[in-house]
């Protein structure tokens, strides 16, 4: 296992997972957040938003809440990861300079060596995407992970779709693709 931070970043929505605001790759609806004029419109047409997620915090904790200091320590059942990220519209190769969204991820390890149940949120200026109770294999370092959008708040209330988190090699950061509709 490379590091605790990579576990959390790969699991992100959040999420980092779901972390997000407007920009590249949008479909037929108005983009959310500071780069859009009014936020997303209700539609069954899927909207895709890309973010470059930059880690701000990533820690592994024991089941009793104590931080794990050694990054090579494998998580045990009951341990958990907490991660937060700043999200920039675009990808790691081309992205905005302003933070467009933030995300939070919480993953509880439920099976060895690294199966976890994760919940993540991505907050924008117009609402928040939610991805709850997503089972992930966090041992698959460097591999994309997909989370199901289970709902949202504000402009994203009733949202469905997916968040795909693709780790950026050599960092604790990731490219995130949010595809959603409502």
What is the set of domains in the chain, with CATH numbers? 4-181 (2.40.480)
pLDDT of residue 35: 35
170 phi, psi to nearest 5 deg? 80, 15
DSSP 3-state of 97: coil
Tokens describing residue 171? 């960092």
Q: Are 114 and 163 in contact (CB under 8 A)?
A: no
Residue 9, H or E segment: helix 4-11
Cα–Cα–Cα angle for 98, 104, 110, rounded to 5 degrees: 150
Query: Rounded distance, CA 127 to CA 175, Å?
Result: 20
pLDDT of residue 109: 97
Q: Which residues are CB-contacts of 66 (< 8 A; sequence separation ≥ 6)?
A: none
pLDDT of residue 133: 96
Q: Are 9 and 16 in contact (CB under 8 A)?
A: yes
Q: Are 79 and 60 in contact (CB under 8 A)?
A: yes
Query: Rounded distance, CA 119 to CA 107, Å?
Result: 6
Cα–Cα–Cα angle for 100, 106, 110, rounded to 5 degrees: 150
Mean predicted lDDT score pLDDT of the chain: 81
pLDDT of residue 141: 77
pLDDT of residue 142: 82
pLDDT of residue 34: 39
The DSSP bridge partners found for residue 116 are 109, 136
Low-confidence ranges of the chain (pLDDT < 70): 1-43
- pLDDT tens per residue across span 38-56: 344 455 899 999 999 999 9
Listed residue (142, 127, 162) closest to 9, CA to CA: 142
Please tell me the pTM assigned to this model: 0.77
**Cβ atoms within 10 A of the Cβ of 156, count?**
27
Query: Rounded distance, CA 78 to CA 13, Å?
Result: 21
């Amino acid at each position: 296992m490379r590091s605790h931070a990579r576990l959390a970043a790969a699991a992100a929505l959040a999420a980092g997972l779901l972390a997000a605001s407007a920009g590249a790759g949008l479909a037929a609806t108005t983009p959310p957040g500071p780069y859009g004029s009014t936020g997303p419109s209700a539609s069954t047409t899927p909207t895709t938003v890309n973010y470059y997620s930059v880690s701000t915090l990533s820690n592994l904790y024991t089941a009793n809440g104590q931080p794990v200091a050694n990054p090579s320590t494998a998580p045990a059942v009951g341990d958990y990861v907490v991660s937060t990220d700043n999200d920039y519209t675009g990808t790691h190769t081309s992205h905005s300079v302003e933070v467009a969204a933030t995300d939070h991820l919480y993953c509880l390890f439920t099976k060895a060596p690294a199966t976890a149940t994760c919940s993540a949120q991505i907050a924008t200026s117009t609402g928040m995407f939610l991805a709850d109770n997503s089972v992930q294999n966090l041992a698959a370092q460097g591999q994309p992970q997909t989370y199901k959008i289970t709902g949202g708040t504000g402009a994203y209330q009733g949202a469905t779709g997916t968040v795909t988190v693709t780790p950026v090699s050599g960092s604790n950061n990731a490219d995130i693709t949010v595809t959603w509709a409502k």
